[in-house]
Structure 1
Amino acid sequence: MKKRIVCFGDSNTWGFDAKTLERFPEGVRWTSLLAERLGEEFQVVEEGLSGRTAVVDDPLFEGLNGLNYIHPCLMSHAPLELVIIMLGTNDTKERFHLTSYNIAQGIARISQKAKATTAGIKGASPIVLVVAPPPIGKEYFETEVGKSMGKDCDLKSAELSTHLKGLMQIQNTEFLDTKGIVPMNTIDYMHLDEEGHRLLSELVFNKIKNILSRERNVC
C-alpha cells in the first residue's frame, strides 16, 4: 500500500492561477510536484478549496470552514502517513475581524483536531505538518482582490508565521515557515505563480524527508 499524504489547504493548495483565473495543471501545482519528488511509494491527496479558512464561517460563501471538514476528510483518506495543513491567507479578510494571533490560534485548533483523529497508520494519530503560507504582498489592496479582502491583510499575513511557530512548539506539531523563501505572484500578490509552486514543493519535500527519517530512527 502506498504511503498517503493529505494536503489540506485553500486556493494555493487547489492551484489557483491568478493570470487565467483557472487551475494550474498537474506538473505545476506544488502538490503534484511534491508527488513527483516523493515517487511511486507515496500518494499525495490534494484537498485544496478556494476561500477555505481555518475556523471561520464565511457569511458570503458556504462550506469554507476547514474545522468542520477536517475530521471526515482525513478519515475518508485513512490510513495516512502525514497531514499537511496550509491555511491562514483567507482568515486575514477584514470581514472576519481577526488579529494575526487569532488566526494562528485557529490554525492551532484545526491542527490539534487533525492530530486527535485516528486517521494515522493502524488507527494512530497522524503526523501533522503545519505550513505558514507566504505573506500577502502589500500591493494586493490595489488589485481586484482588494475589494473583497479589505484592509491590513498583508500586515496580519506577515505576522502570522511568528505566532504559528510559537503555538506549534507548545503543541509539539511539525512546522514549516515559507516566509522569505516562497513569494506570492505579482498579479494579485496573494497566490503562488509557477515558480512559487516549484519552490514550495521543494521546501515541503525536504521537510517531509526530515520528518520521516526522524520517525524511522525513533521506531
Structure 2
Amino acid sequence: MAKRIICIGDSNTYGYDPAAFGGARYPEGVRWTSRLGSAWDIRNLGENGREIPSSSFAVRVLLSQVRSRLPADGLCLMLGTNDLLCGASPAEAAERMRIFISDLLVCGLPLLLVAPPLMQSGTWVESDALIRSSGQLAPLYRDLAALCGVSFCDASGWDIPVVFDGVHFSEQGHRRFAEQLEPVFAQMFL
C-alpha cells in the first residue's frame, strides 16, 4: 500500500510553469510530486509565493490544510526561497522555520525538512548575494533539524535545472529532483 506523504512547499512543489500564461502548472507526470513512483501517495500542499508561515493566521490556515489530508505517513517540508526573495536573511528564514516546525510537530508525523535547491542567476535572481544566501540555508536547516529532532535532506547540492528566472524548476529539474528525493523518501518513510 502506498505511503501518504503531505508535501508542503512553494511554487516548485506546486509545479508552477513560468512559461505558461496565468500561473499554470506543469501537467501531472512532469511535477516532481507526481514522479516519485507508486510507493507514494503524495498530497501536494505547494502554493505559489508561499513563504514560511510566520503569522498565527498563516500557521492556522496551513495546519488546517494538513489536518484535512490526514491520515498520513509523513510530512515533507521545503520552504525558504520566497522568504529570501522577499528580503529575509538566511538566519531570519531559519528562525521562522524553527517556529513553524514546532507547530507542525503537534501533528505527530515524521517530518523531513528539505533545504531548497540553490537559486541561480536569472530574471528573478540578479545578485550574487541572493545566490549566496540561498546556499546559506542548508547548514542552518541541518542544525535546525538536529535541534528539532526531525530528518534533514540537503537539495542545495543537487544541481537542479531551472528556467530563465533562476528559481523555478524546468521539466528536467522536476525529473532530477524526483530522482534525488525518491531514495530519501524510501529511507525515511518506508
Asked if Structure 1 and Structure 2 have the same fold, meaning a TM-score greater than 0.5 normalized by the shorter chain, the answer is: yes
1:2 Cα offset (Å): 5.1
Give the aligned residue type for 1:84. Answer: C
1:19 Cα offset (Å): 2.5
1:110 corresponding residue in structure 2: 100
Cα RMSD, aligned residues only: 2.3
1:4 Cα offset (Å): 1.6
* Residue 167, structure 1, aligned to residue 165, structure 2: no
Residues 135, 184 of structure 1: 8 Å contact kept = no
Give the aligned residue type for 1:71. Answer: L
Residue 193 (structure 1) aligned to one of 157, 170, 182: 170
2:19 corresponding residue in structure 1: 19
2:44 corresponding residue in structure 1: 46
Residues 134, 184 of structure 1: 8 Å contact kept = no
1:50 Cα offset (Å): 0.2
Larger Rg: 1
Of 103-112 and 169-178, more deviation after overlay is shown by: 103-112
Identity %: 28
User: Hey, what's the Cα distance between the residues in 1 that align with 2:125 and 2:181?
Assistant: 29
Give the aligned residue type for 2:31. Answer: R
User: Hey, what's the Cα distance between the residues in 2 that align with 1:212 and 1:93?
Assistant: 31
5+ long unaligned stretches in structure 1: 58-62, 118-124, 214-219
Q: 1:10 to 1:128 in 2, by over 3 A?
A: same
User: Hey, what's the Cα distance between the residues in 1 that align with 2:75 and 2:93?
Assistant: 19
Residues 83, 127 of structure 1: 8 Å contact kept = yes
Give the aligned residue type for 1:202. Answer: E
Give the aligned residue type for 2:7. Answer: C
Q: How many equivalent residue pairs? A: 187
User: Hey, what's the Cα distance between the residues in 1 that align with 2:43 and 2:164?
Assistant: 28
Length-normalised TM-score, structure 2? 0.88
1:109 Cα offset (Å): 2.0
1:186 Cα offset (Å): 4.0
Length-normalised TM-score, structure 1? 0.77
